[in-house]
Amino acid sequence: MTTPASSHAESWESGVPLPAMTTASPDGTAPIARTTGHVILLNGSPSAGKTTTARALWKELEPPHWYRSLDDFRQGYTDEQWASESRPPFEWLFLGFIRSVREMALAGHHVIAEAIILPENIATYLDAPDGIEVYLVGVRCPLEVAQHRERDRTDRLGSPVDLAVPWFDQVHADRPYDVEFDTSVISTAEAVAHIRAFLASGRPPTAFDVLRARRAAPDGSESGSTVPRHD
Protein backbone atom coordinates (compact mmCIF):
# COMPACT_ATOMS: atom_id res chain seq x y z
CA MET A 1 0.00 0.00 0.00
CA THR A 2 1.17 3.50 -0.76
CA THR A 3 0.22 6.65 1.07
CA PRO A 4 -0.23 9.79 -1.06
CA ALA A 5 2.14 12.57 -0.09
CA SER A 6 -0.86 14.92 -0.05
CA SER A 7 -2.29 13.08 2.96
CA HIS A 8 0.38 14.64 5.18
CA ALA A 9 -0.68 18.10 4.06
CA GLU A 10 -4.36 17.20 4.55
CA SER A 11 -3.67 16.05 8.10
CA TRP A 12 -1.74 19.25 8.79
CA GLU A 13 -4.56 21.45 7.49
CA SER A 14 -7.41 19.61 9.19
CA GLY A 15 -5.69 18.76 12.44
CA VAL A 16 -7.18 15.27 12.17
CA PRO A 17 -4.91 12.22 11.73
CA LEU A 18 -5.82 10.55 8.46
CA PRO A 19 -5.88 6.79 7.88
CA ALA A 20 -3.42 5.39 5.41
CA MET A 21 -4.87 5.69 1.92
CA THR A 22 -4.01 3.64 -1.12
CA THR A 23 -3.82 4.76 -4.71
CA ALA A 24 -3.95 1.16 -5.93
CA SER A 25 -6.54 -1.60 -6.01
CA PRO A 26 -6.49 -4.20 -3.19
CA ASP A 27 -4.20 -6.50 -5.21
CA GLY A 28 -1.86 -3.60 -5.96
CA THR A 29 -2.12 -3.98 -9.72
CA ALA A 30 -4.25 -1.04 -10.82
CA PRO A 31 -4.95 2.54 -9.76
CA ILE A 32 -8.29 3.37 -8.20
CA ALA A 33 -10.38 5.37 -10.64
CA ARG A 34 -12.23 8.36 -9.23
CA THR A 35 -15.90 8.14 -10.13
CA THR A 36 -18.71 10.67 -9.82
CA GLY A 37 -20.72 10.32 -6.64
CA HIS A 38 -24.49 10.32 -6.30
CA VAL A 39 -26.75 12.64 -4.33
CA ILE A 40 -29.48 11.60 -1.89
CA LEU A 41 -31.79 14.64 -1.75
CA LEU A 42 -34.38 14.70 1.06
CA ASN A 43 -37.28 16.99 0.17
CA GLY A 44 -39.89 18.23 2.61
CA SER A 45 -41.26 21.16 4.57
CA PRO A 46 -39.50 22.66 7.57
CA SER A 47 -39.84 20.36 10.60
CA ALA A 48 -40.92 17.39 8.48
CA GLY A 49 -37.95 15.38 9.75
CA LYS A 50 -35.40 15.88 6.96
CA THR A 51 -32.45 16.73 9.18
CA THR A 52 -33.14 13.97 11.70
CA THR A 53 -33.37 11.43 8.88
CA ALA A 54 -30.34 12.81 7.05
CA ARG A 55 -28.12 12.68 10.13
CA ALA A 56 -29.17 9.12 10.95
CA LEU A 57 -28.57 8.06 7.35
CA TRP A 58 -25.19 9.83 7.34
CA LYS A 59 -24.01 7.74 10.30
CA GLU A 60 -25.06 4.42 8.79
CA LEU A 61 -24.31 4.47 5.07
CA GLU A 62 -21.36 2.60 3.66
CA PRO A 63 -19.43 3.77 1.74
CA PRO A 64 -19.32 7.04 3.71
CA HIS A 65 -21.41 9.96 2.45
CA TRP A 66 -20.68 13.68 2.83
CA TYR A 67 -23.48 15.64 4.49
CA ARG A 68 -24.03 19.34 5.05
CA SER A 69 -27.34 21.19 5.20
CA LEU A 70 -28.27 24.68 4.11
CA ASP A 71 -28.42 25.55 7.83
CA ASP A 72 -24.77 24.48 8.11
CA PHE A 73 -23.90 26.86 5.30
CA ARG A 74 -25.83 29.66 7.01
CA GLN A 75 -23.67 29.13 10.09
CA GLY A 76 -20.71 30.26 8.04
CA TYR A 77 -21.99 33.63 9.22
CA THR A 78 -22.41 34.47 12.89
CA ASP A 79 -25.99 34.99 14.07
CA GLU A 80 -25.28 38.71 14.35
CA GLN A 81 -23.92 38.86 10.81
CA TRP A 82 -26.91 36.96 9.42
CA ALA A 83 -29.29 39.37 11.16
CA SER A 84 -27.48 42.34 9.65
CA GLU A 85 -29.01 44.23 6.73
CA SER A 86 -25.60 44.25 5.05
CA ARG A 87 -25.36 40.47 4.67
CA PRO A 88 -25.60 38.88 1.21
CA PRO A 89 -29.09 37.86 0.03
CA PHE A 90 -30.41 34.44 1.05
CA GLU A 91 -30.56 33.50 -2.64
CA TRP A 92 -26.77 33.73 -2.89
CA LEU A 93 -26.35 31.37 0.05
CA PHE A 94 -28.82 28.92 -1.47
CA LEU A 95 -27.02 28.96 -4.83
CA GLY A 96 -23.65 28.40 -3.19
CA PHE A 97 -25.07 25.48 -1.24
CA ILE A 98 -26.79 23.64 -4.10
CA ARG A 99 -23.85 24.18 -6.45
CA SER A 100 -21.45 22.82 -3.82
CA VAL A 101 -23.52 19.63 -3.68
CA ARG A 102 -22.84 19.07 -7.37
CA GLU A 103 -19.14 19.87 -7.05
CA MET A 104 -18.71 17.42 -4.18
CA ALA A 105 -20.37 14.68 -6.24
CA LEU A 106 -18.20 15.51 -9.26
CA ALA A 107 -15.13 15.27 -7.02
CA GLY A 108 -16.10 11.69 -6.19
CA HIS A 109 -18.10 12.07 -2.97
CA HIS A 110 -21.52 10.51 -2.36
CA VAL A 111 -23.66 13.31 -0.89
CA ILE A 112 -26.67 13.60 1.42
CA ALA A 113 -28.50 16.93 1.19
CA GLU A 114 -31.83 18.48 2.11
CA ALA A 115 -34.26 20.43 -0.05
CA ILE A 116 -37.48 22.41 0.03
CA ILE A 117 -38.51 22.12 -3.61
CA LEU A 118 -41.20 24.60 -4.65
CA PRO A 119 -42.49 25.92 -7.99
CA GLU A 120 -40.38 29.05 -7.41
CA ASN A 121 -37.05 27.21 -7.06
CA ILE A 122 -37.45 23.85 -8.78
CA ALA A 123 -35.47 25.00 -11.82
CA THR A 124 -32.41 25.62 -9.65
CA TYR A 125 -32.71 22.21 -8.01
CA LEU A 126 -33.04 20.48 -11.38
CA ASP A 127 -30.23 22.39 -13.08
CA ALA A 128 -27.57 22.38 -10.35
CA PRO A 129 -26.92 18.61 -10.23
CA ASP A 130 -26.86 18.20 -14.01
CA GLY A 131 -25.02 15.00 -14.88
CA ILE A 132 -25.29 13.67 -11.31
CA GLU A 133 -27.37 10.68 -10.23
CA VAL A 134 -29.95 12.01 -7.75
CA TYR A 135 -32.12 9.91 -5.45
CA LEU A 136 -35.12 12.07 -4.54
CA VAL A 137 -36.63 11.23 -1.14
CA GLY A 138 -39.97 12.63 0.00
CA VAL A 139 -40.13 13.36 3.74
CA ARG A 140 -43.71 14.06 4.80
CA CYS A 141 -45.79 14.64 7.89
CA PRO A 142 -49.18 16.29 8.59
CA LEU A 143 -49.25 20.06 9.08
CA GLU A 144 -50.29 19.72 12.73
CA VAL A 145 -47.29 17.49 13.48
CA ALA A 146 -44.88 19.85 11.72
CA GLN A 147 -46.32 22.84 13.59
CA HIS A 148 -45.88 21.07 16.93
CA ARG A 149 -42.28 20.20 16.09
CA GLU A 150 -41.62 23.75 14.90
CA ARG A 151 -42.85 25.22 18.19
CA ASP A 152 -40.50 22.91 20.10
CA ARG A 153 -37.40 23.79 18.07
CA THR A 154 -34.65 25.77 19.73
CA ASP A 155 -32.37 26.26 16.71
CA ARG A 156 -34.36 28.95 14.91
CA LEU A 157 -33.17 32.53 14.67
CA GLY A 158 -36.19 34.55 15.75
CA SER A 159 -39.74 33.16 15.75
CA PRO A 160 -40.81 29.72 14.48
CA VAL A 161 -41.44 29.34 10.75
CA ASP A 162 -45.09 29.84 9.77
CA LEU A 163 -46.06 26.53 8.16
CA ALA A 164 -49.75 27.24 7.48
CA VAL A 165 -48.98 28.65 4.04
CA PRO A 166 -49.46 27.34 0.48
CA TRP A 167 -45.82 26.25 0.34
CA PHE A 168 -46.55 23.46 2.83
CA ASP A 169 -48.64 21.62 0.23
CA GLN A 170 -46.62 22.77 -2.78
CA VAL A 171 -43.41 21.15 -1.53
CA HIS A 172 -44.90 17.73 -2.39
CA ALA A 173 -47.55 18.72 -4.98
CA ASP A 174 -47.64 16.02 -7.68
CA ARG A 175 -43.99 15.29 -6.90
CA PRO A 176 -42.53 11.90 -7.97
CA TYR A 177 -40.12 10.25 -5.55
CA ASP A 178 -37.72 7.35 -5.56
CA VAL A 179 -38.48 6.83 -1.86
CA GLU A 180 -41.05 8.53 0.36
CA PHE A 181 -42.44 8.17 3.87
CA ASP A 182 -44.43 9.93 6.59
CA THR A 183 -42.29 10.62 9.66
CA SER A 184 -45.39 10.84 11.87
CA VAL A 185 -46.09 7.13 11.41
CA ILE A 186 -42.64 5.55 11.04
CA SER A 187 -39.50 5.86 13.14
CA THR A 188 -36.25 7.43 12.03
CA ALA A 189 -34.69 3.96 11.89
CA GLU A 190 -37.49 2.77 9.60
CA ALA A 191 -37.09 5.81 7.36
CA VAL A 192 -33.38 5.11 7.03
CA ALA A 193 -34.14 1.47 6.29
CA HIS A 194 -36.46 2.48 3.43
CA ILE A 195 -33.70 4.56 1.84
CA ARG A 196 -31.04 1.91 2.34
CA ALA A 197 -33.29 -0.75 0.85
CA PHE A 198 -33.78 1.27 -2.32
CA LEU A 199 -30.05 1.90 -2.64
CA ALA A 200 -29.33 -1.80 -2.12
CA SER A 201 -31.91 -2.81 -4.74
CA GLY A 202 -29.72 -1.51 -7.51
CA ARG A 203 -32.67 0.23 -9.16
CA PRO A 204 -31.70 3.53 -10.78
CA PRO A 205 -33.36 6.70 -9.50
CA THR A 206 -35.99 8.09 -11.87
CA ALA A 207 -37.77 10.93 -10.04
CA PHE A 208 -35.45 13.71 -11.25
CA ASP A 209 -35.72 12.44 -14.82
CA VAL A 210 -39.51 12.63 -14.56
CA LEU A 211 -39.36 16.18 -13.22
CA ARG A 212 -37.00 17.26 -15.98
CA ALA A 213 -39.22 15.66 -18.63
CA ARG A 214 -42.23 17.53 -17.25
CA ARG A 215 -40.36 20.81 -17.43
CA ALA A 216 -39.37 20.13 -21.01
CA ALA A 217 -42.97 19.40 -22.03
CA PRO A 218 -44.86 22.25 -23.75
CA ASP A 219 -47.29 22.57 -20.86
CA GLY A 220 -44.67 22.23 -18.14
CA SER A 221 -45.66 24.54 -15.29
CA GLU A 222 -42.85 24.22 -12.76
CA SER A 223 -40.44 26.68 -14.27
CA GLY A 224 -40.00 29.48 -11.71
CA SER A 225 -36.61 30.97 -10.89
CA THR A 226 -37.21 33.02 -7.73
CA VAL A 227 -35.86 31.38 -4.59
CA PRO A 228 -38.21 31.84 -1.61
CA ARG A 229 -36.63 32.25 1.79
CA HIS A 230 -37.09 29.41 4.26
CA ASP A 231 -34.16 30.03 6.59
Q: Is residue 147 part of a domain?
A: yes
SS (H, E, C) the chain: CCCCCHHHHHHHHHCCCCCCCCCECCCCCCECCCCCCCEEEEECCCCCCHHHHHHHHHHHCCCCEEECCHHHHHCCCCHHHHHCCCCCCHHHHHHHHHHHHHHHHHCCCEEEEEECCCCCCHHHHHHCCCCCCEEEEEEECCHHHHHHHHHHCCCCCCCCCCCCCHHHHHCCCCCCCCEEEECCCCCHHHHHHHHHHHHHHCCCCCHHHHHHHHHHCCCCCCCCCCCCCCC
Look at residue 64 in the predicted model and tell me its pLDDT. 96
Q: Which amino acid is at 51?
A: T
Q: pLDDT value at position 32?
A: 57
Q: What are phi and psi of 165, to 5 degrees?
A: -135, 165
Asked whether residue 103 is assigned to any structural domain, the reply reads yes
Q: Give me the CATH number covering residue 164.
A: 3.40.50.300
Q: What is the mean pLDDT of each run of 10 residues along the chain (231 residues)?
A: 46 48 54 82 95 97 94 89 89 94 96 95 93 96 92 71 84 95 98 98 96 83 44 39
Say if 26 falls within a structural domain: no
128 is a domain residue: yes
Q: Per the domain annotation, does 9 fall within a domain?
A: no
Q: What is the pTM of this model?
A: 0.79
- pLDDT for residue 10: 43
What is the model's pLDDT at position 151? 86
Question: What is the model's pLDDT at position 12?
Answer: 44
The answer to whether residue 25 is domain-embedded is no
In a domain, 10, yes or no: no
Q: Which domain holds residue 140?
A: 37-216
How many domains does the chain fold into? 1
Is 16 a member of any domain?
A: no
Q: How many CB atoms lie within 10 A of CB 6?
A: 10
